[in-house]
Amino acid sequence: MSVSKRIRILCVDDHPLVRDGITFAIQNQPDMELVAEAANGLEALAAYRQHLPDVTLMDLRMPEMNGIEATRAIREEFPNARIVMLTTYSGDVQALRSLKVGAVGYVLKAMIRADLINTIRSVHAGHRRIPSEITSDIAGHFSADALSTREIEVLGHVAAGCSNKVVADHLNISEDTVKGHMKTILAKLQANDRTHAVMIATKRGFLD
């Protein structure tokens, strides 16, 4: 296949071993070529501007600028950009955030070997490609109340082992306010206690 007909790919991931694995997979495909690599969101934006790839593979969690912010920035400048999120994590919150900023595909790193090549071809052809386990998570929590920014802050401190009093001191609010937030958090997440709430929030992607 001529070079001009190949799908031109930008790979963005802060782990060199992941990039190497993706490079190996792509170089064995006659209809694909890797045109650039980046290790964070800021490098991704610069590389996109320079190379204008057909498909971008974007790690979700990176230093400097994460994948969601990088996707937002690229799509604002290049509305037709086709971006596939790569992640080790299937939390429905992160998936929804990715889709809202314009990602058209989502690949779990555990399934890269099986799904990556087909996903690249699919999104290049104009289709969305979302794993069934992620769409199931999204559907399962579609009617659930989202946590507010303040509630995520409170729960983040709780996850770090802070008591209500310490959380209150950190956020400059009263201890009663913290207790009120925790009551709302437990209800929204349908959690039995603080530990259960942290576990659910982490699984769904509210917390790192």
User: Of the given ranges (5-19, 46-60, 143-157, 189-203), which has the lowest mean pLDDT?
Assistant: 143-157
Number of domains, the chain: 2
- pLDDT, tens digit (0-9, with 9 covering 90-100), for 70-121: 999 999 999 999 999 998 766 657 777 788 888 998 888 888 888 899 999 9
Strand ranges inside the chain, DSSP E:
7-12, 32-38, 55-59, 83-87, 105-108
CA distances from 77 to 10, 20, 25, 34 (A): 16, 28, 29, 22
pLDDT at residue 178 greater than cutoff 70: yes
Same domain, 85 and 186: no
176 shares a domain with 75 = no
- The two counts, helices (H) then strands (E), for the chain are 10, 5
Q: Do 125 and 77 share a structural domain?
A: yes
- Global pTM? 0.69
Q: Which of 140, 164, 188 is the last residue of a domain?
A: 140
Residue 188 is predicted with a pLDDT of 84
Instruction: Check whether residue 74 and residue 159 sit in a common domain.
Output: no
Do 92 and 15 lie in one domain? The reply is yes
Half-sphere exposure of 111 (CA within 13 A, CB side): 16
Could you tell me the CATH number of the domain that includes residue 86? 3.40.50.2300
pLDDT-based confidence at residue 5 (cuts at 50, 70, 90):
confident
Position 143 pLDDT exceeds 80: no
Angle (nearest 5°) at CA 91 between 87 and 92: 120
Final residue of a structural domain among 104, 121, 140: 140
The Cα–Cα gap between 90 and 97 comes to 12
Do residues 91 and 177 share a domain? no
Q: How confident is the model at residue 142 (pLDDT cuts 50, 70, 90)?
A: very low
Claim to verify: residue 10 and residue 112 sit in the same structural domain: yes
Q: Using CA atoms, how far apart are residues 8 and 136, in angstroms rounded to an integer?
A: 31
- Residue 14 scores a pLDDT above 90: yes
Query: Average pLDDT in the 162-182 region?
Result: 92
What pLDDT is recorded for position 133?
A: 65
133 and 164 co-located in one domain:
no
For the domain that residue 161 is a member of, what is the CATH number?
A: 1.10.10.10
Q: Give percent of the chain above pLDDT 90.
A: 57
Contacts of 159 (CB under 8 A, 6+ apart): 198, 201, 202, 207
Domain of 90?
Answer: 3-140
Section 166-173 average pLDDT: 93
